[in-house]
Every structure is written in structure tokens, then in C-alpha cells.
A and B are shown apart, each in its own frame.
Chain A
Amino acid sequence: MAAAAVMVEAAAPTGALWGLVQDFVMGQQESPADQVAAGTAGSAAKLLQGSGRRERPSHPRTAGRELRGRDVKSGNYTVLKVVEALGSSLENPEPRTRARGIQLLSQVLLQCHSLLLEKEVVHLILFYENRLKDHHLVIPSVLQGLRALSLCVALPPGLAVSVLKAIFQEVHVQSLLQVDRHTVFSIITNFMQSREEELKDLGADFTFGFIQVMDGEKDPRNLLVAFHIVHDLISRDYSLGPFVEELFEVTSCYFPIDFTPPPNDPYGIQRDDLILSLRAVLASTPRFAEFLLPLLIEKVDSEILSAKLDSLQTLNACCAVYGQKELKDFLPSLWASIRREVFQTASERVEAEGLAALHSLTACLSRSVLRADAEDLLNSFLSNILQDCRHHLCEPDMKLVWPSAKLLQTAAGASARACDHITSNVLPLLLEQFHKHSQSNQRRTILEMILGFLKLQQKWSYEDKDERPLSGFKDQLCSLVFMAITDPSTQLQLVGIRTLTVLGAQPDLLSSGDLELAIGHLYRLSFLEEDSQSCRMAALEASGALASFYPGAFSSYLLPKLAKELQRDVTREHGPNKCSRHLLCLQALSAVSTHPSIVKETLPLLLQHLWQANKGNVVIGFNDIIAICQSLQQVAEKCHRDPDSCWYFHETALPCLFALAVQASMPEDSSVLRKVLLEDEVLAALASVISTATIHLSSELAAQSVTRIVPLFLDGNISFLPENSFPSRFQPFQDGCSRQRRLVVLLMAFVCSLPRNVEIPQLTQLMRELLELSCCPGCPFSSTAAAKCFAGLLNKHPAGQQLDEFLQLAVDTVEAGLGAGSSRSQAFTLLLWVTKALVLRYHPLSSCLTARLMGLLSDPELGPAAADGFSLLMSDCTDVLTRACHADVRIMFRQRFFTDNVPDLVQGFHAAPQDVKPNYLKGLSHVLNRLPKPVLLPELPTLLSLLLEALSCTDSVVQLSTLSCLQPLLLEAPQIMSLHIDTLVTKFLNLSSSPSMAVRIAALQCMNALTHLPTPVLLPYKPQVIRALAKPLDDKKRLVRKEAVSARGEWFLLGSPGS
């Protein structure tokens, strides 16, 4: 059957094609020409084809394309045939008909240009070039055809040039429509990509031709292409000949770009696209410099902010390719403009761009290689800057002092040479000015400027010690710093301390004598009284920074003093100062432990201090122990970068701390201090030291440690503890001794911080003991610690049978506990922690457990706790189950939890009896509150009604968390929120007189955020809101009044001029 059909079709091919062609040419009105063309081409090809499948007629367009490709490839059919079939219409005296004919041919070519043969191309080109002279109605179709041919691989050499010449000569491009102009630009682009060499042979004529094509272009779509072509012309080194200025004119007339895309623009061209592509053109060659720089100066001097910014940014871009030659004549004007912008501007962006331009100008001048006899422009440029800025530095109270300093520092930051030049001029001046001015605040400004210049020195490294520009000023600088840090003004002291740190960071600058003096001052500052906290903190930070450079100096000058201070404190004094000095000394010790060799001295000091206290040599209180733990923890944190230090800390501190704790837990022990050691907070502080000291251990070392610590708890093996002659056995998991059980929190801190691949000995036994302890009534502290420890281990355990067994055990324990009356709350805590451990790692069982937890929301006894539990599930823990302690925490767990559970929560809320509804709302608001806002936004429409209902809930926790959830949404989803404006205004205003201060504050913050909704929505409420907000202005609490003031201020500005 198919064969018969082919026969029939083959019988009258030309006739059928002729008919279809005529249909197309004449049938202009019936359907879109494009579609007809594709359909016709398809049918025509099909008819001409000697063999082959028949395509389904439902896709004429694809069929056409496919068949044509195959036809031409198989040689059954040539473009010539289409031309022949078109014959009369191509020559028709009626231009419209000719246009239709050529349009069909061009569309056919566009579909099969890659398959054309060379001789076909030659003929087609000749034909099309000739048609360029034709009637203007025909031109668009001719250009389409040329575009198709410009994509041909088979284009013989020489034809590209001839096509372009013909276009340049025959077509007045700017009188064409936008689409057709775009076609011309595409033809040029295509040839530039494939025929670069040929076009270059055309010399500057090509450039000139293009200039004429582009001249007067207004459409942003075409401009983007045109700018791209110009950029290629320049960057690929086409000959510009005498047309440099013309090329500049034809592009620079668009500078600065002023374009606002129309609303709902389908082309998506932004202002920035045009700005950046024009900037790429303008800044692409130094040959434009003589024309561009005057233009930039003119535009910087204009009143329009965007023109200033664009000009400064373009100047900045130019400096990357310019040299001294280009800049030379314009430097004074450029400097004057930049200076004015920085001195007088009201916009920080202009100031920043001005400084950036100055930076690249200076860098550009520093980069150029000089001939021996040439003038060094950098020097004269910098001298200009210095001349205009120097005298302002001498007036530290006046406004221009900082802009001047910024200009100088920016220039100095551009190159080592500039830095030298400016520093050597400015530093002596500033040093002199410091002594000339006697007020502390003036001195502070001057010292702060000096600090800025010193910091710049760090950018450049000097090989030779004598070359360093600072060495000559070292003594003066040191004496200045010491004056500053002994000044009564805190502000001056602070700058002094920062300057000292920067001086210390300069290699080989400070002498041993300077260091001794500096350390003396730092020691004094570390013990400052309460009212100069900021100085003391700065001094501690400086000690830490300097100690890492000069560990030797610190261990000989500072540590002995601190050790003595600690001793003195402990042994003799009992004054009111005792306590605070003791704390300050501990903080100083930890602050300075930034170098491994210093840790080796400070850690034993701290531990010995703790041990002394334990021996009863001194009376030591709760706060002291906490302070020592905090210091130890800080030392541990500072060790983490150095593996050896880390292990040293672990090896030294852990046995000592465990020994102290174990001894304190002995039933026979009854001293006061030992009681203190077992208090919740102290144990938590110890736990946190242990955890920090374990987190950064390598797996090998951690594995070594775990074989001693787990047996200590399971078997009472105390052999690795110092001074281990305890009166009784240590059996924390055995019944009886509740003191010993409390130490499970220390075990938790250790095992839950281990790297994931460390194998834990006796794991099954450990897990069983933990589960048992977690449901033990009577001591919530130890049962919670056991539950957390169990959860922490569960989270890291690899999936498999053993994990499933542990989980089964846990579920059984939870269910048994929830059933029994006595330990329900313990079982609930265990459930919560196990759920969290599984939610974090996306374990499949987590959904069952979450459902169980949700069920408890309507439990009369555990409901409120379950609601709060959602907060725990969604928040980050501090001690276990964190990424820092190697837990398996998936990044999207909150989103996932939200998607899986919020629908059920909402449903549960609607189904729940009235008295437990608040539990659901509370749970929900905890979940929403912790969720990243972008995730919440799409879900907002469905949840919003519930959130609004939650605002009417009487529970202030629900109110507060709902408000804090709504506040960012008001800023980020103003359109959706606008729909509920009436409810929002009413409820927020109601809550602004809530009895709870936190709710009042949050409600007023929401009132403030409301002003971000579209103004027309708000205006009807303005009078009412302004009246209502007068009331909280007189609130009894200052913090509430503050929020009321800012909210009311914003409402006043709504729809008012100048806002």
C-alpha cells in the first residue's frame, strides 16, 4: 500500500509542489505565514521524496524539518527544485507576491542551512545579494535568507565579505523594523564568529559599515547585540582605522544608560544588562581614553546619582586596561571630581564608588613601567592627594577629617609604592598632631587614623628589614600606644590596644623591651574594674593575639604574674575584691592560651587550682568552680587547631576532671565543696569542657580514650584516674547511689562528642543501662542525661540490625513507661529525644514516633509538655546531637518535618476538643517559628487563617511565638498579608495592651512591620492606628515605649511626602 502511494506521489511531483507553493504565496490571510511555510515545506518535501516513510500529518512542522534534512542528505532533492517551483512568484511583478515567495525560500533555508552544498550557496547568495536592491517590502525576507546563509558551513571564501558589503551599501538599516535590524546584527555576529579572518581583510571598511548600521539604534534588544559586536571588534583586534572616534561616538552616546524596563516585559532585559555591556565596550580599549575620560568627568560632576555611580564604576573598569599615558592629562580633573564626591556626598554608595575608583587609579599608575626620563605620575598624583588632604588631618574635630583619611588610606592601599609614599608623609604628621592635641577624643581620632595606616602595612610584605617603612617610627609609635593605654579615656585606651595588636603583628618590629612593657600594660588592663569591661575584653583579645606571635615573652613576663595572682587569691585574701580578681585572673589565663607552649603552662595551673580546692586547702564556691570550668573550656576551644595541643588537653584534663567527679560522688564524702561539684550547673559546665576537649580529637586518639572511659562507667574501672584510692566502688548504673548516677551526664558529654567512626566497646550493654536509667523515677537530671546520651549514640549508629534492635528496645521502654503511672514523664522525655535523634537523620521510624508524640498533645497530663517538645525537635541543641559533635544532622530536616507533619497538626487542631486546642496551636507555632522563611512563604495562604486564630489564643507563649512568626512574613510576603489587613491591625493593636511585656513589644514590632505592606492598603487605617498607638507611648515600660515610638513614627510617614 505504501509503495502504491509513493508511486502516485512521485508521478506528479512538480505539479503538487507548485500547487502548495501557490497556496502559500497567495494564501496570506488565512493562517500565520510561518505555520503555512513549515507545513508547505513539509508537504512539498514529502511529495518530492522518491522513497521513505510517510509522516503523520498532525505534526507538519517537525515532519517538514525532518524530511527536508533527510531529502537533501540523501540527494533525492535539492533546494534548486524549490526555487524552480517558486519560479514565477520570485519574479512576480507584484512586490507582495515576491516577498511571499522569498519568505518561503528563506524559511526553508533556515531549516536546512547546514545541509546546503557549496554551489547552491553560491547561487543563493548571488540571488539574495541581488534582491537587496529590490522593493522595500521584500527586504525583510531577503535578510532572513541571508541570515540562514550566514550560518552555512559551506559558504565559500569571499562571500561573507561580499554579503556584508552588499548590506552596507544597499540597506538603510535604521529605517527597518526592530526584528529586521536584529536580523542584520545577527548576520554580522554569525560572520564574525565563523569568518573572522575574511572580515579582517576588509580592514576598517567593515568597522565603518558597522558604525553606519548601528548609528541611531534605540531598541534595548538590538543594543545588547550591537554592544557585543563592538566589544568583539575591539577585543579581537579588528582594524578600526581612522574610525576610533566614530566608533566611540556611536556607543558612548548611550552613556549613562537610562532605561526602565516596561512592566511585564517579556524580554527580561534589565537596566544593569545594558549598563554592563556598554561598560564592557567603553572600558575595553585605551584608544577610547581621550574621548571617554572627559565624558566620565562630566557625568561625575552631574547632579544625577545614577550617572555619578555609573561613571565612577566605568572609570574603575577602565583603570584595568589604561596606563599612565592615557590618564596623564586627566588626573587633576579626575582627582578633583573624586575628592568632591567623597568630601560632600550625601550617599554612601557614591562615596564607596569614589574610593574604589581612586584605588584603581592609583593601582593603575603604580603598575606602569616607566622610561628612565619620564616623569613618575604616581608621585605627582599622590602629592596632589596629600596636598589636599593633609591639612584636614590636623583638625581631628572637623567633619572632613575622616573623608580625608579615607582618601589617603584608599590610595595607600593600592600598591606598596603608594603605601610607602603616603605613610612616610602622613605618619610623622599624625605623630606630631597626636602630641599637639591634648584632648582624649582628638587623640583618639588621630590614633585611629594611625591605626588605619598601620593596618595597610600588613598588605605588603617587605623582604628586607631595613626597607620596612615602620622601623624608623617604631619607638615613637610605641610611646604613643603606651600613652593611649594609660589615658583615662576608655575610647582612647581601646584604640591604643588595637594599635598595639597591629604593631605586634608586624614581624620583627617590637623589641623584647617593648614587649615586656606591653605585657605589663595588658596585665594591668586585664584586671580593670567593672565599668571598663570593653577595655578589659579588648586587652584579653590583644593578649591572645600577641601571645600567638610571642609565646616566649608571654610565658616569661605574664604567666608567672598570673600564677602568683591565682595563688595569692587562694591562700590569703578574703576581701570583697577577692572573688572578682579571681575570676578576672581565670579569664586572663584562658585568653592567653593561644599557643601550644602556653597551653602546656596554663592548663596545669587551672587543673591544679581545681585540685587544691578539692583537697580542701581553700574555700571555694559554686561560682568559682563554674568560672574555672569556663576557663578550661575556652582553653580547650583554643586548642582545636593544633592536633597535638588537642590531645594534650584531652589526656591531661579528662582524667583529672573524672577523678574529681568520681570522688565527689562517693557516698562517704560529705564536704561542702563536693556537694557543689555535683550540682546541675557545675556538672553541665564540666560536661561542656569534656565535650569540647573530645570533639576535635582524631579518630585514632579518640578510640584510645574510649577504651578507658566506657569501662569506668560500666565496670567501675578506675585505673586511669589519678589519686584513685576511693573509699567505695564507682557503679553509676547500679541501683542505690543517686549521686553516682548524676555523673552519666559526663559520660554523655564524652561518648556523644566522639567522631562517628569510633567504635564504642560494650555498646549493647551501655545502651541497655542507659535505657534503664532513663526511665528511673526520682532524679530528672540523670534520667534526662541518660535519654540524651542514648539518643546521641542512636543518631550516629550505622543503619542495620543492631540499630533496629536498639530502636525496638527504646520503643518498648517508652510504651511501657507511658503506660505506667510513676514514670510517664521520664518515658515522654526518652520518646522526645529518641524522636529528635531519628528526625535529624531522616530515619523511617521517625514518622511513627512523631505521630506518637502528636497523639500526646491531647493527653491531659503530658499535653503541654508535648507542645513544648516540638520546640525541642525543631531547635538546635547545644550539647548533644549537633553537627559540631559529629551527629548526623541533615540540612533540610526542618523543611521535611514541616512537610510531613504540619497537615496532621492542622487536622489534629480542628478535630481536638476545645480544652486541648492550645496545645496544637503551640506545637504548630513552634514548628513554623523555626522554619526558614522561604519554605514557609508558599504554604502561607493555607496556614494564615490558623496563625490568625492563634493570635486570639490566650496563652502568651502562643501569642509571642505567633507574632514572631508573622513579623518576618509581613516583610517578605506583603501581598498575601494585605488580604488580612483588617484582622491584623485589630489583633496587633489588641495585643499591644497585653499584660505581658514581651507580647506588647512583639505586637508593636508587628505594627511597625505592617508599614511594609502596600501603602494604598494601609492608608484607610492610618488615622485609627495613629490614635491607637498613642496609648502605648505612655506604657510603663521603656522598652515597650521604644517600639511604640518607632512604629508610630513609621505610620506617620505613610503616604506623606518625603518618606
Chain B
Amino acid sequence: MVGGGGSGGLLENANPLIYERSGERPVTPGEEDEQVPDSIDAREIFDLIRSINDPEHPLTLEELNVVEQVRVQVSDPESTVAVAFTPTIPHCSMATLIGLSIKVKLLRSLPQRFKMDVHITPGTHASEHAVNKQLADKERVAAALENTHLLEVVNQCLSARS
């Protein structure tokens, strides 16, 4: 599905732009009240994916501006989530891997009722269409996760930094 990880050798993009991390979401009194239900909102989805590690830099997707809160659409009552991500350069070979990581993170973290759509921000990648198609294909995603090497890279992206 994708080429090997960025271990060794030269990085594709050695000096990328860095963006600021947003702080922890402040806890509101409403969230501490037992009775008040909190709906799943865009910030909550963003918090799930912002700390995913980039496959080749020791940076998070948020710091590289690959994911942004404004590009997360969510409707709790309709159980739908749409996330658009922006590769750092238009020829980034990691785009599929990043998309896969986001998809897997959401699959593991959201209730089953949600229908999720992960795609590249329109016009930001050379093979946008092909990548989107791969990410939307349930069977190809499942097959990709059967591949030990690929699963290893995805798990590394999803592990908390030590």
C-alpha cells in the first residue's frame, strides 16, 4: 500500500514548517457535572488525532499542520465524522500512511455507530484521488492492517511518545 518508513537516509522534507500545539482542552464545570451529557464535537475528534506522530519526524500531525480542527466535521446525532488532512508537501509518499493512521485511530477510539470518512484536503496532494480511494475502501484498509510491517509503522504513529 505504501513504501517503507523513513528510517535512515535523507528525509524527504528535512526542515518543515512547525505549528504551535494547542493546549489541553480546559475542563468545564459542565463536563464535571454527572448529569449533563457532553456531545462528541470537533475538538474532541481533533484531540484524538492531533497527537498522532508523523512517520518521519519526531513531531505530531498537529505540529506539522497536517490536521487542523477546522478540517474536522462531526455530527453526534447523525453519527458521522469527516476528517481532511493536508500532507506537508504535494508529493509526500507518506500520505497514505498518515491517512491510515488517522483512520485506525478513529476506528479504535470512536463508538461503532460512527461512519467515518478520512480524506486529503482537496488540491493538496498529487495523487489525492488514488489515496482517498484507498482510504475509503474498507477491505483494503483491513488488508493493509494484516501486513505486519505496515501495522508496526501505524502502531508507532499511535504510541504515546516516551
Binding site for B on A (CB under 8 A): 303, 343-348, 392, 395, 397-402, 441, 491, 996-997, 1030, 1033-1034, 1036-1039, 1041-1042, 1045, 1048-1049, 1052-1053, 1056-1059
Residue of B nearest to A1031 (CB): B111
Contacts of B48 in A (CB 8 A): 1045
- Tell me which of B16, B59, B152, B158 contacts A1049 (CB under 8 A): B158
User: With A and B bound together, what is the CA distance between A345 and B57 in angstroms?
Assistant: 9
Q: Taking A399-B57, A1059-B155 as contacts, is the C-beta distance between A1036 and B38 under 8 angstroms?
A: yes
Could you tell me if A1039 and B31 are in contact, using CB atoms closer than 8 angstroms? yes
- Tell me which of A344, A346, A1033, A1052 contacts B14 (CB under 8 A): A344
Number of interface residues of B (CB under 8 A): 38
Binding site for A on B (CB under 8 A): 8, 11, 14-18, 20, 27, 31-32, 34, 37-38, 40, 44, 47-48, 57-59, 105, 108-113, 148-149, 151-156, 158-159
Q: Taking A398-B15, A1045-B109 as contacts, is the C-beta distance between A346 and B158 under 8 angstroms?
A: no
Number of A-B contacts (CB under 8 A): 85
| Most B Cβ at <10 Å: residue of A347, A402, A1045 | A1045
Could you tell me if B151 and A400 are in contact, using CB atoms closer than 8 angstroms? no
Q: Taking A1033-B109, A1058-B159 as contacts, is the C-beta distance between A399 and B16 under 8 angstroms?
A: yes
Contacts of A1038 in B (CB 8 A): 31, 38, 40, 44
User: With A and B bound together, what is the CA distance between A996 and B47 in angstroms?
Assistant: 24
- Tell me which of A347, A348, A441, A1037 contacts B20 (CB under 8 A): A441
- Tell me which of A399, A1033, A1057 contacts B155 (CB under 8 A): A1057
Could you tell me if A399 and B108 are in contact, using CB atoms closer than 8 angstroms? no
Enumerate 30 A-B pairs (CB-CB under 8 Å) in ascending A order. A343-B14, A346-B58, A348-B58, A397-B17, A398-B17, A398-B18, A399-B18, A399-B59, A400-B14, A401-B18, A441-B20, A996-B34, A997-B34, A1033-B109, A1033-B110, A1033-B111, A1034-B111, A1036-B37, A1037-B38, A1038-B31, A1038-B40, A1038-B44, A1039-B32, A1042-B47, A1048-B108, A1053-B155, A1056-B151, A1058-B153, A1058-B154, A1058-B156
CB distance from A1034 to the nearest CB of B (A): 4
Contacts of A1036 in B (CB 8 A): 37-38
Contacts of B153 in A (CB 8 A): 1058
A-B complex: 3 closest residue pairs judged by Cβ atoms: A1058-B152, A1058-B155, A1034-B111
Residue of B nearest to A397 (CB): B17
Contacts of A1048 in B (CB 8 A): 108-109
Could you tell me if A1058 and B151 are in contact, using CB atoms closer than 8 angstroms? yes
CB distance from A820 to the nearest CB of B (A): 40
User: With A and B bound together, what is the CA distance between A932 and B77 in angstroms?
Assistant: 46
Could you tell me if B17 and A1049 are in contact, using CB atoms closer than 8 angstroms? no
Contacts of B20 in A (CB 8 A): 441, 491
Could you tell me if B155 and A1056 are in contact, using CB atoms closer than 8 angstroms? yes
Residue of B nearest to A343 (CB): B14
Contacts of B11 in A (CB 8 A): 344
Q: Taking A1034-B113, A1045-B48 as contacts, is the C-beta distance between A1057 and B151 under 8 angstroms?
A: yes
CB distance from B134 to the nearest CB of A (A): 20
Contacts of A1059 in B (CB 8 A): 155-156, 159
Contacts of A1034 in B (CB 8 A): 111, 113
User: With A and B bound together, what is the CA distance between A400 and B17 in angstroms?
Assistant: 9
Residue of A nearest to B149 (CB): A1057
Contacts of B17 in A (CB 8 A): 397-399
CB distance from A445 to the nearest CB of B (A): 9
Contacts of A397 in B (CB 8 A): 17-18
Contacts of A345 in B (CB 8 A): 58
Contacts of A1037 in B (CB 8 A): 31, 34, 37-38
Could you tell me if A1052 and B108 are in contact, using CB atoms closer than 8 angstroms? yes
User: With A and B bound together, what is the CA distance between A996 and B151 in angstroms?
Assistant: 37
Contacts of A344 in B (CB 8 A): 11, 14
CB distance from A706 to the nearest CB of B (A): 44
Contacts of A1052 in B (CB 8 A): 108
Could you tell me if B154 and A1030 are in contact, using CB atoms closer than 8 angstroms? no
User: With A and B bound together, what is the CA distance between A399 and B17 in angstroms?
Assistant: 6
Residue of A nearest to B104 (CB): A1052
| Most A Cβ at <10 Å: residue of B17, B47, B109 | B109
User: With A and B bound together, what is the CA distance between A827 and B148 in angstroms?
Assistant: 68
CB distance from B34 to the nearest CB of A (A): 5
CB distance from A489 to the nearest CB of B (A): 11
